[in-house]
């Protein structure tokens, strides 16, 4: 089935030229092109792109001096902070492999990932490391490097940031390593098609997480795919510099949603997540964007940052936008300077999207779709208002094919039919780390079988309706939880919700909803069920409502249905 270009943005290239470069070249190029442009704002501290590159070079030398070799896995156990970016690009520069550790993981989960990846180097935060220290002796880790948020503050600003540096015995201090080693790391010989850049673990929301192997080419291609999706440029390498090329007569500032070396983004998407590493670190660095970095999400601090830093782009999971649009005074903020807002990692409820479109009236609000197994992303709505399609995750990006297959037979399905989403493109992973059987289950004839249920319309736009594993089978009928969740979100009292199948002797499974109410809102279970059941087919009706204080979500914004399912079966 040929790719559908019917609604492809006018004057956007249909295929891209990808430079034969490793991941860290993004920082090298930007530091050479705009050395004095601010790369990172963090709690009052600023780093230019040249300063960031210099710190990376110092730290890469330090890692090498302490035995870190090409191909070795380096685990980064940090929240969003400048040291994360430094550690990441230093790891890339040595040809070592970045394996992220979610700071919210329990010690047992940290132990699993360290042992599974074989990581010998761990970079951790002074506030976090004591919580996992007990398991480190039973892992392959040979060296622990610690750092602190307090390291980012000078003596003058420290009284305004009441967070002191904690001693972490028996670890190497990252700042001392940077200070004591020269900014002269050797150039690693990296084969971009073979050498791994990332060993990123899947979220594990439905089971044990697996290590996703991403080569330098995977990461570079996906970064460029999404960068050029937003700026509409072609890539050309001239005199060893990566240039953006536009059709004759196109002004990249006037005629494109974003322009290189001009934008400012609020970054709260965790860098340890695939969407964060590719979309909100590499993509930002590649585009010379100024990143206003937050280690955690506070709705008021975040929305006030729009005007404080003159932000032009925002992005994140739906769980970023839900509390924003529900803020009592949200509509009072001037958000007219924001040009582009992206949502990904999980479905954006229609009611939330409507509220965002009203409040961000001068912005283009788009949804995109992807997964760790394709570096980050596969589809996105065009960043042009008249081409965005509500409820859709958009078109397959450059050099990416997406098809829908029957979940039973595997046969290709025509537009309008619902089935499993499959992806093919240069960003698709090499496979799962040391799991050939699991790899064979999802990689078939060059296609990545996503496990997501969706459909394509006649214009080539894709719609994700649910996870294959989340599908509820009620008396033989397929019930997709997201459809019911969308109806729940239209009730004014609902803040968050999740629908699951509860085992039932008569029906097989029955739909049950976990509901988190908005602050000070009240409603009864019967009222909510009546609201939903009046709008869905009989076999999709909710049979039970369970009110919870908080619907659990991962740091990436995905609802942890595994935890909720455990409550159902307990």
DSSP states of 264-319 as a string?
EEEE-S-TTSHIIIIIIIIHHHHTTPEEEE-SS--HHHHHHHHHHTT--EEEE-HH
Asked if pLDDT for residue 325 goes beyond 90, the answer is no
Instruction: Specify the pairing of strand 143-147 against strand 121-125.
Output: parallel
CA distances from 113 to 75, 86, 183, 440 (A): 9, 22, 31, 21
Between CA 199 and CA 215 the distance in angstroms is 9
Between CA 126 and CA 462 the distance in angstroms is 44
pLDDT > 70 fraction of the chain, expressed in percent and rounded: 97
**Helix or strand holding residue 379 (H, E):** strand 379-380
pLDDT at 476: 63
Least reliable range by pLDDT among 233-242, 324-333, 441-450? 324-333
- CB of 484 within 8 A of CB of 490? no
DSSP states of 19-44 as a string?
-S--TTHHHHHHHHHSTTSEEEEETT
SS (H, E, C) 171-197: CEEHHHHHHHCCCCCCCCCCCCCCCEE
Bigger pLDDT: 497 or 479? 497
Q: Output the CA torsion sign for 194, 197, 198, 199.
A: positive
Between CA 97 and CA 194 the distance in angstroms is 12
Least reliable range by pLDDT among 36-40, 376-380, 405-409? 405-409
pLDDT at 483: 80
CB atoms within 10 A of CB 566: 10
In which band, very low, low, confident or very high, does the pLDDT at 350 lie, cut at 50, 70 and 90?
confident
CB within 8 Å of 160: residues ≥ 6 apart? 44
Torsion of CA 287, 290, 294, 299, to 10 degrees: -100
CB neighbour burial string for 180-203, b if at least 16 within 10 angstroms, e if fewer: ebeeebeebebebeebbbbbbbbb
Asked if pLDDT for residue 349 goes beyond 50, the answer is yes
Asked if pLDDT for residue 535 goes beyond 90, the answer is no
Asked if pLDDT for residue 490 goes beyond 60, the answer is yes
Total-model pTM: 0.86
Highest average pLDDT, of 153-157, 199-203, 404-408, comes from 404-408
pLDDT at 275: 92
CB within 8 Å of 47: residues ≥ 6 apart? 38, 39, 40, 55, 82
CB atoms within 10 A of CB 470: 22
Between CA 245 and CA 237 the distance in angstroms is 10
pLDDT > 90 fraction of the chain, expressed in percent and rounded: 71
- CB of 36 within 8 A of CB of 50? yes
Terminal C-alpha separation, the chain: 46
The mean per-residue pLDDT over the stretch 297-318 comes to: 91
Phi, psi of 423 (to 5 degrees): -130, 140
pLDDT tens for each residue of 216-256: 999 999 999 999 999 999 999 888 889 999 999 999 999 99
- CB of 395 within 8 A of CB of 460? yes
- Residue 483 burial by CB count (10 A; 0-12/13-18/19+): exposed, middle or buried? middle
For the chain, list the domains and their CATH numbers: 477-569 (3.30.300.30)
CA distances from 535 to 33, 287, 364, 487, 531 (A): 55, 45, 30, 8, 7
* Mean pLDDT value across the chain: 92
Bigger pLDDT: 206 or 261? 261
Between CA 487 and CA 533 the distance in angstroms is 9
Between CA 87 and CA 107 the distance in angstroms is 22
Asked if pLDDT for residue 123 goes beyond 70, the answer is yes
Least reliable range by pLDDT among 263-272, 350-359, 400-409, 518-527? 350-359
Between CA 500 and CA 510 the distance in angstroms is 8
pLDDT tens for each residue of 491-510: 999 999 999 999 886 777 89
pLDDT at 132: 95
Asked if pLDDT for residue 462 goes beyond 80, the answer is yes
Between CA 27 and CA 291 the distance in angstroms is 13
CB neighbour burial string for 262-291, b if at least 16 within 10 angstroms, e if fewer: ebbbbbbbbbbbbbbbbbbbbbbbbbbbbb
Helix, coil or strand: residue 531: helix
- Helix %, strand %, coil % for the chain, to 5? 30, 25, 45
Between CA 196 and CA 190 the distance in angstroms is 9
Q: Token match 């799962």: residue?
A: 432
Number of residues assigned to the chain: 570
pLDDT at 47: 98
Asked if pLDDT for residue 158 goes beyond 70, the answer is yes
pLDDT at 206: 43
Asked if pLDDT for residue 477 goes beyond 70, the answer is no
Bigger pLDDT: 97 or 479? 97
Asked if pLDDT for residue 203 goes beyond 60, the answer is no
pLDDT at 335: 85
In which band, very low, low, confident or very high, does the pLDDT at 205 lie, cut at 50, 70 and 90?
very low
Pick the closest to residue 84 from 42, 131, 113 (CA basis).
42
């Amino acid at each position: 089935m040929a790719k559908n270009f019917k609604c492809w943005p006018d004057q956007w290239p249909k295929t891209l030229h990808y430079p034969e470069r490793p991941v860290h070249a993004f920082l090298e190029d930007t530091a050479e092109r705009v050395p004095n442009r601010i790369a990172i704002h963090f709690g009052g501290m600023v780093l230019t792109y040249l300063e960031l590159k210099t710190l990376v070079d110092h730290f890469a030398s330090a890692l090498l001096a302490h035995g870190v070799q090409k191909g070795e896995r380096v685990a980064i156990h940090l929240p969003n902070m400048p040291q994360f970016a430094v550690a990441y690009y230093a790891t890339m520069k040595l040809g070592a492999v970045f394996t992220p550790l979610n700071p919210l993981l329990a010690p047992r989960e940290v132990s699993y990932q360290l042992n599974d990846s074989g990581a010998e180097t761990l970079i951790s935060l002074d506030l976090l490391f004591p919580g996992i220290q007990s398991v480190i002796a039973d892992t392959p880790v040979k060296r622990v490097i610690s750092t602190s948020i307090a390291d980012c503050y000078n003596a003058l600003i420290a009284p305004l940031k009441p967070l002191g540096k904690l001693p972490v015995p028996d670890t190497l201090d990252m700042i001392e390593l940077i200070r004591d080693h020269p900014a002269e790391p050797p150039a690693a010989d990296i084969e971009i098609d073979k050498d791994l850049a990332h060993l990123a673990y899947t979220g594990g929301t439905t089971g044990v997480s697996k290590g996703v192997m991403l080569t330098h080419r995977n990461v570079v291609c996906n970064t460029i795919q999404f960068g050029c999706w937003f700026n509409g440029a072609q890539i050309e390498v001239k005199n060893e510099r990566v240039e953006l090329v536009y059709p004759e007569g196109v002004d990249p500032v006037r005629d494109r949603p974003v322009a290189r070396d001009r934008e400012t983004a609020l970054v709260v998407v965790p860098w340890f997540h695939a969407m964060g590493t590719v979309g909100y670190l590499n993509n930002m660095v590649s585009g010379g964007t100024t990143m206003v970095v937050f280690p955690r999400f506070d709705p008021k601090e975040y929305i006030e940052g729009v005007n404080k830093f003159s932000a032009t782009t925002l992005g994140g999971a739906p769980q970023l936008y839900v509390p924003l649009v529900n803020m009592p005074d949200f509509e009072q903020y001037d958000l007219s300077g924001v040009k582009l807002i992206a949502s990904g990692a999980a479905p954006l409820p229609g009611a939330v999207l409507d509220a965002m479109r009203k409040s961000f009236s001068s912005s283009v609000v788009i949804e995109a779709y992807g997964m760790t197994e394709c570096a980050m992303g596969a589809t996105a709505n065009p960043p042009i208002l008249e081409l965005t399609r509500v409820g859709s995750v958009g078109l397959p990006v450059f050099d990416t094919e997406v098809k829908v297959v029957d979940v039973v037979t595997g046969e290709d399905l025509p537009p309008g039919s619902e089935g499993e989403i499959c992806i093919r493109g240069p960003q698709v992973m090499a496979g799962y780390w040391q799991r050939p059987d699991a790899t064979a289950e999802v990689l078939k004839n060059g296609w990545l079988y996503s496990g997501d249920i969706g459909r394509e319309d006649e214009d080539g736009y894709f719609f994700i309706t649910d996870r294959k594993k989340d599908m509820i089978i009620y008396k033989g009928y397929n019930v997709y939880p997201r459809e019911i969740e969308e109806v729940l979100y239209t009730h004014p009292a609902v803040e968050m919700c999740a629908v699951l199948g509860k085992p039932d002797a008569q029906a097989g499974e029955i739909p049950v909803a976990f509901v988190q109410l908005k602050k000070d809102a009240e409603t009864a279970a019967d009222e909510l069920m009546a609201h939903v059941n009046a709008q869905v087919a009989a076999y999709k009706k909710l049979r039970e409502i369970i009110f919870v204080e908080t619907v659990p979500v991962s740091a990436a914004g995905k609802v942890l249905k595994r935890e909720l399912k455990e409550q159902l079966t307990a």
